[in-house]
A and B are shown apart, each in its own frame.
Chain A
Amino acid sequence: MNPAAAPSRSTAARRAWRRPLAALARTTLTESMQQPAVLLLTLGGVVATAFIPLLQFHEFGEPGRLARDGALAYQLTLGLVLAVAAASAAIQREIAGGTASAALSKPLSRDAFVAGKFLGVAGMLLHFWYALLAAMLIAERVAYRVAGTDGEPVGATDSRAQAFLLLAVPLALAVAGLLHNRRRARFGIAALRGLQAILTLGLLAAFGFDRLGAWRPAADNLDLRLVPVSLLILATLTLFAALATALSTRLKGGATLVVCSLVLALGLAADPLLAPSRPLPARLAAHLLPNVQSFWLCDALTGGGSLPLSYVGGACAYAAAWSLAALALGMLAFRHCDIH
């Protein structure tokens, strides 16, 4: 045998864990995306985002602000519910249902099991986030201002974008129903993918056409400053998915939800807790817990401001480090527990 053609030992070792990990992550992603809660929360988030521009008389002095603040809030709140519920279900439900013991009786380490479950849930969150991000970018351009006859700015509406956004969900459901009927496609997954495809077409159209419907491709047809702010929310969701995955190796769904809610509450209060006047335990807790305030920065866009990419990079690295630490603790906890 030609030694040059033979795969090295390290390559073989990499393949040995990569395939099982990929198989587990893929199946977890499929299972998660097929859950009714994922479909309901994603579609609900897009519908709610689509309806915000209809309330544009509450624009807080800045067109599109209500749309972006509201949409970002939906991303965070619905996403947190989804992250915790999906991560908890992916581990605890599988242990209770026996599929975990079937998987762990195969040549799959417990560390790889935890990592694979997290990757699957993170993939599902990415789908959810993308749908809501696309909806937010389109919703943000619906409400705008033009100069009135007296020279004063007056509110106007991009009715094409508004109509498209309102029709996206019914259209996605119709496509999914058709695919389910004709090709036995999984309804939930088909609806989510259909929605993403429709919203992507909407983004492309929004990029190409201005608010009056004229062909004028330009980057400022969409407020791309929203993307880094939304990326920070994805980082928060990933962080809480990692925390919920780690906790689920030992705790039931209810207990995981309670602990995650507590961490969220303390994380939102991290800045005041870090003040030097606070007692040491409070400051220590604030340092150890994820500082959620660092990820909620929609105010940075007020008055035409934007978020520096260096800040986004740093915050994402912080979230990644915190997620890895949480997962490492979860793996340690899972190594020695009995799987019934």
Chain B
Amino acid sequence: MNTPPPVIEIRGLRKTFRDFWQRPTVAAVRGIDLSVGPGEVVGLLGPNGSGKSTTIKLLLGLLHPTAGTIRVLDADPRDTATKARIGYLPEVTCLHKFLTPAETLHYYAGLFGLDGPTTRARTRELLRMVGLEAAAGRPVGEFSKGMARRVGLAQALINNPDLLVLDEPTSGLDPIACREVKDWVRQLAAAGKTIFMTSHLLADVEDICDRIAILCEGQVRAEGRVQELLQRPDAVNLTLEGLTEAQIEEIRGELARRTGRAVPCGRPRIDLETFFLKVIAAADGRAGAPAPTADFLAASPRTGDGAAP
């Protein structure tokens, strides 16, 4: 059985920035090897200046590598036909501030060469998905950071891409919008999209990604499946419900007797995000309406499937 080629294949990637006189200034990426398979959700983590955004720009052909090779969807990242299958959300949402969200999406659809009816249909679906239908006629220069981020996400999906590259997708969003973005990413992954993302928010990456790579000073310091990297193979958690204090003490005593040491015992906590969302949902009476991502995915043929010339 043939294994499908990786969606992203990076080998020995190096990038050194140079000044006007071509003297090396910063070695941003120092020999990265990374592979992303079809349908995977891979997160790139790292502190500021670790080379995450540089790696993404190299993947998109915006920067030229100093050394090494990059293959994206089995082609050179500068190949325009390949770029037709990629959606990209930049770290800072860069929009033409005089355009409305609908005009912004029409502009990006035009860059993909989508025809008029396809553009109009996708614009409608995406604006509904990101919850900006009501603001479709306002210039994006008037938008809050979170609203602009939603427009950015919509433009990244205008071509219904096979590969989605997200640079800090939840940056600047409130917890509700963060949860929505994570839900969209999960749904897109379930629909077979490959997603490569960076984030400073470790909890977001942990929630979304199948695999992570931790970048520091331009090198991958750790890489693997999230569960495997975070799991402690020498320990186990038990969560029991409905026990009385006496029963708990009895179990602790038994465990201490068997292991020969005291066993810590406490009440499990839900995370703050879940608690916040419950409070907000209770306050405005909404029960978490399903995101319309699935509708968009069902309605939108891929760019390569005949929607574009």
Majority SS of interface residues in chain B?
A: loop
Interface residue A182 (Cβ < 8 Å from any Cβ of B): no
Let me know if A99 and B95 touch, CB within 8 A: yes
Let me know if B112 and A104 touch, CB within 8 A: no
- With A105-B62, A105-B86 known as contacts, the answer to whether A20 contacts B111 (CB < 8 A) is yes
Residues of B within 8 A of A27 (CB): 96, 99, 107
Let me know if B88 and A102 touch, CB within 8 A: yes
Residue of B nearest to A33 (CB): B98
Let me know if B137 and A99 touch, CB within 8 A: no
Let me know if B81 and A30 touch, CB within 8 A: no
| Proximity string of chain B (103-130) to chain A, C-beta cutoff 8 Å, 1 when within and 0 when not | 0001111111110000000000000000
Residue of B nearest to A99 (CB): B94
Interface residue B63 (Cβ < 8 Å from any Cβ of A): yes
- With A7-B309, A339-B62 known as contacts, the answer to whether A108 contacts B94 (CB < 8 A) is no
Let me know if B113 and A15 touch, CB within 8 A: yes
CB distance from B158 to the nearest CB of A (A): 9
- With A16-B309, A336-B64 known as contacts, the answer to whether A106 contacts B94 (CB < 8 A) is no
Residue from A23, A34, A103 with most neighbouring chain B CB atoms (10 Å):
A23
Let me know if A107 and B94 touch, CB within 8 A: no
Given A12, A20, A102, A340, which contacts B110 in the complex, CB threshold below 8 Å? A20
Let me know if B94 and A20 touch, CB within 8 A: no
In the bound complex, CA of A19 to CA of B307 (Å): 14
Interface residue A338 (Cβ < 8 Å from any Cβ of B): yes
- With A23-B107, A101-B62, A184-B137 known as contacts, the answer to whether A107 contacts B113 (CB < 8 A) is yes
Let me know if B108 and A339 touch, CB within 8 A: no
Let me know if B96 and A31 touch, CB within 8 A: yes
| Proximity string of chain A (181-197) to chain B, C-beta cutoff 8 Å, 1 when within and 0 when not | 00010100000000000
Let me know if A104 and B96 touch, CB within 8 A: no
Interface residue B179 (Cβ < 8 Å from any Cβ of A): no
Interface residue A274 (Cβ < 8 Å from any Cβ of B): no
Majority SS of interface residues in chain A?
A: helix
Interface residue A24 (Cβ < 8 Å from any Cβ of B): yes
Residue of B nearest to A19 (CB): B113
Residues of A within 8 A of B88 (CB): 102, 105-106
| Proximity string of chain B (143-177) to chain A, C-beta cutoff 8 Å, 1 when within and 0 when not | 00000000000010001000001000000000000
In the bound complex, CA of A51 to CA of B145 (Å): 46
Interface residue A98 (Cβ < 8 Å from any Cβ of B): yes
Q: For window 53-111 of chain A, which residues contact chain B by CB distance below 8 Å?
A: 97-99, 101-109
In the bound complex, CA of A26 to CA of B92 (Å): 23
Interface residue A22 (Cβ < 8 Å from any Cβ of B): yes
In the bound complex, CA of A155 to CA of B84 (Å): 66
Let me know if A107 and B110 touch, CB within 8 A: no
Q: For window 1-36 of chain A, which residues contact chain B by CB distance below 8 Å?
A: 7, 12, 15-16, 19-20, 22-24, 26-27, 30-31, 34
Interface residue B193 (Cβ < 8 Å from any Cβ of A): no
Interface residue B60 (Cβ < 8 Å from any Cβ of A): yes
Residue from A12, A30, A101, A109 with most neighbouring chain B CB atoms (10 Å):
A101
Given B57, B80, B95, B159, which contacts A339 in the complex, CB threshold below 8 Å? B57
Let me know if B83 and A105 touch, CB within 8 A: yes
Let me know if B98 and A103 touch, CB within 8 A: no
| CB-CB nearest 4 A-B residue pairs | A23-B110, A98-B94, A106-B111, A107-B80
Q: List 7 A-B contacts (CB under 8 A).
A: A16-B113, A22-B110, A31-B96, A106-B88, A107-B80, A108-B83, A339-B62
Q: Give A residues with C-beta under 8 Å from B.
A: 7, 12, 15-16, 19-20, 22-24, 26-27, 30-31, 34, 97-99, 101-109, 184, 186, 336, 338-340
Q: Contacts A24-B111, A30-B99, A107-B113 known; list 19 others, CB within 8 Å.
A: A7-B309, A12-B309, A15-B309, A16-B113, A19-B110, A19-B113, A20-B113, A23-B106, A23-B110, A30-B98, A31-B96, A97-B94, A98-B92, A102-B88, A105-B61, A107-B80, A107-B111, A336-B64, A340-B57
